[in-house]
Copies of this chain bind each other. A is one copy, B any other.
Amino acid sequence: MRDLVTVLYNDFETLDVFGPIEILGRLTDQFNPLFYSLAGGIVTSSQHVPVMTEPLSELDSTRYVLLIPGGTGARDLVDDDMFIPAIRSLAEHAEFILTVCTGSILLSRTGILNGRRATSNKRVFAWTRTAPEVIWEQRARWVTDGTIYTSSGVSAGMDMALGFVADQLGYPLAHQVSQEIEYEWNEDPGHDPFSALYP
């Protein structure tokens, strides 16, 4: 059993978080979803979802998967001298890191993605140029580099989460979860019809 440490901030993108949480949170003997933010308390998504969080200072998990969502709130945090060191510390001790959408831009600021392959939201892909040390892949539904999984925009987080389940726990379980939630899983990380929209 691993904790699933999700870092929230105001104006995170709703589905970036709750797509993967739906999938991983169903595997109750594998993942324990926990919600944190820098200061704790209620954090609200761009779509007005108020989520109760614990302060990161109180996190004492020793075995966890880290989930970092994207969202318009990331714009303010990308150079925040409290937030970036906090997620760097978290990322350094995570067994696995999952980012959705512009969550990978946040993660890039920790230096942990340097020299690694990653992807991000397609509409704002130009933002990746601010992290030239990362090997960005423009055409990818999600990218796996070792223990780091980065996905494209918003709904891509679900396909990535199922891919993560397939890698760690076997394809049959991932397929079963996709059927349980009646989701037509895009199983191919190279199938990315949205990359062509913003060439």
Chain A contacts to B: CB under 8 angstroms? 13-15, 17-19, 21-22, 24-26, 32-35, 42, 45-52, 121-123, 152-156, 158, 179-184, 186, 193-194, 197
Contact = CB atoms under 8 A, between A and B. Distances in A.
Contacts of A34: 48
B155 A49 contact: no
A47 B184 CA distance: 20
Contacts of A193: 184
Contacts of A42: 52
Contact of A155 (B45, B121, B123, B181): B181
A50 B18 CA distance: 12
Contacts of A52: 42, 50-52
B48 A22 contact: no
B197 A183 contact: no
A14 B24 CA distance: 11
Contacts of A181: 15, 153-155
14 contacts: A14-B25, A15-B19, A15-B22, A15-B181, A18-B18, A18-B49, A21-B47, A24-B47, A42-B52, A50-B52, A52-B52, A121-B182, A122-B182, A154-B180
Contacts of A123: 180
Nearest to A156: B182
A-B pairs with lowest CB-CB distance, top 3:
A25-B47, A18-B18, A15-B22
A151 B145 CA distance: 37
Nearest to A194: B182
A50 B51 CA distance: 6
Contact of A18 (B15, B24, B121, B183): B15
B47 A26 contact: yes
Nearest to A181: B154
Given A13-B22, A34-B48, A122-B182, 20 more contacts: A14-B18, A15-B22, A18-B49, A21-B48, A22-B47, A25-B46, A25-B47, A33-B47, A33-B49, A35-B50, A50-B51, A121-B182, A123-B180, A152-B182, A154-B181, A155-B182, A155-B183, A156-B182, A184-B184, A184-B186
